[in-house]
Structure formats: C-alpha cells, structure tokens
Amino acid sequence: MIFNKLLLIGEDEDEVTEISLHDFCRHKGEERSGPDQFELLRVLGQGSFGKVFLVKKNCGMDNGQLYAMKVLKKATLKVRDRLRTKMERDILAQISHPFIVRLHYAFQTEGKLYLILDFLQGGDLFSRLAKEVMFTEEDVTFYMAELILALEHLHSIGIVYRDLKPENILLDSAGHISLTDFGLSKESLDDSQMTYRTIEYMAPEVVNRRGHSVAADWWSLGVLMVLNNK
C-alpha cells in the first residue's frame, strides 16, 4: 500500500530571496537554447507548480530528438521550491550515468524555468507495479542491480539521493531503469536535515530527524526490495 504522506521540516530556505539558475547545455557546439526550439507534443504530467511535456527538438545537432520538458512557473514557486529546482539542475548537470536520467538543457525566461530531460518511454516503476500487481524475483533482482549501480555512483561523487521510491524510478523502452527527481538530494555525505519525505521508504534516523548519510539510501533500497517482492 502506498501512503504518500509527506513531512515538512522548517529550514532556513525562506531566508533566501534570489535563486540563480544558470543555463546549461550538454551538447557540444550547441548555442543557448530556448522554448522556441522545442515542439510541444503532449502533456506527460502536471502539478501545482508546472507541467512536464513530451517535446521534440526542432533544430540543432539533436533535431528530431524527443525529450521530457519540465516547465515551472516562477510566480507559483516558493523559495524552497526554487532551491529544489536549482539543486536538481546542479546535480544533473554533473552526472552522466546509464541508470540516471540525463539533463540536456536548462534555461529560463522571465516567468518560467525549463529543464530538458531524457524521455523514458516505459513510464515509472510505480505505474508498472500497479498494472502487474507484483514483480517476479527476476524482475526485482534486475531492478535492484541497476539501482545499486546508480546509488553507488551518486555516493562516489558526494550525493545522497534521499527520495528512493517507485515513482522516481523511470523505465526506458528496453526495461532499464533511470533515477529521476533530484530536487530532494543532498550534495553532502554529512548528516543533513530532513525536508519533504515519503514516509514508507524512510530510514529510522530520517523519521526521527537525527540527520542521515548514504545509509539512508541503502535502507530505502531494502524497503523497496521487500515491498515489491512479497
């Protein structure tokens, strides 16, 4: 059973008045990008702060490539949400790994923030689990192996993921996983304060607000394995 109960712990984020989000382009030789370089195809998802679109690049070296475009309205974002967006952009900009979603472009207009990410055609693990009721042992072994490689890579560069759950695990057309949604990750191996959490996958030290390190990710991985292999 998925509860999706969230906790909010007060932090110093609201003391920040301005968040700097620099443009980013992963493709060498490409000039700065903007929203007019992407054709909107359909909505993939939406929330209170913005939407995620399936888009197609209409120019450049990757002309015709499909991407997922996350569009966030600045006017609806609280300071903590802008910080989360900046954190996600900064983390994804430094990562290139087969089992972690890639950021291809990041830019902004006067009213909106844009992140252009891999489009994974297989949806997320939560949706697949809902359709199949329960995974086989072979499925769980396969996904766990790829998740372990992804987490080991993050930890090796000083990043604690902190939000491992089926909704944040995407699948490509061949069934391989990609971790996504790095807005809650922590670029530190030291203990950290808790922010928004999904309770059922949380480690005890996170629930009790004692601070946490990479061990919290391994706890969440174990919970994920047990819940999906009963």
Q: Check if 4 is active-site.
A: no
Q: Is 80 exceeded by the pLDDT of residue 182?
A: no
Q: Check if 57 is active-site.
A: no
Q: Which of 57, 85, 118, 168 is catalytic?
A: 168
Q: Which of 81, 124, 181, 217 is catalytic?
A: 181
Q: What angle do CA 12, 199, 71 make, to 5 degrees?
A: 60
Q: Which of 53-62, 88-97, 120-129, 186-195 has the lowest mean pLDDT?
A: 186-195
pLDDT of residue 190: 39
The verdict on whether residue 70 carries a ligand-binding annotation is yes
Q: Check if 198 is active-site.
A: yes
Please give the CATH superfamily to which domain 15-118 belongs. Phosphorylase Kinase; domain 1 (3.30.200.20)
Mean pLDDT of the chain: 79
Q: Which of 57, 74, 165, 186 is catalytic?
A: 165
Q: Check if 165 is active-site.
A: yes
Domain ranges in the chain are 15-118, 125-227
- How many CB atoms within 10 Å of residue 214? 18
Per-residue pLDDT tens digits for 198-219 = 678 877 776 777 777 889 899 9
Q: Give the Cα separation of 213 and 169 in Å (integer).
A: 21
Tell me if 15-118 shares its fold with 125-227. Answer: no
Q: Which of 81, 124, 163, 217 is catalytic?
A: 163
Q: How confident is the model at residue 183 (pLDDT cuts 50, 70, 90)?
A: low
**Contact, 19 vs 88, CB < 8 A?**
no
**Contact, 195 vs 9, CB < 8 A?**
yes
Task: Pick 125-227's CATH classification: 1.10.510.10, 3.40.50.150, 3.30.930.10, 3.10.450.50.
Answer: 1.10.510.10
- What is this structure's pTM? 0.79
pLDDT of residue 46: 82
- Nearest Cα neighbor of 102 from 177, 178, 168, 38 is 178
Per-residue pLDDT tens digits for 24-52 = 787 765 667 899 999 999 999 887 678 99
Q: Check if 181 is active-site.
A: yes
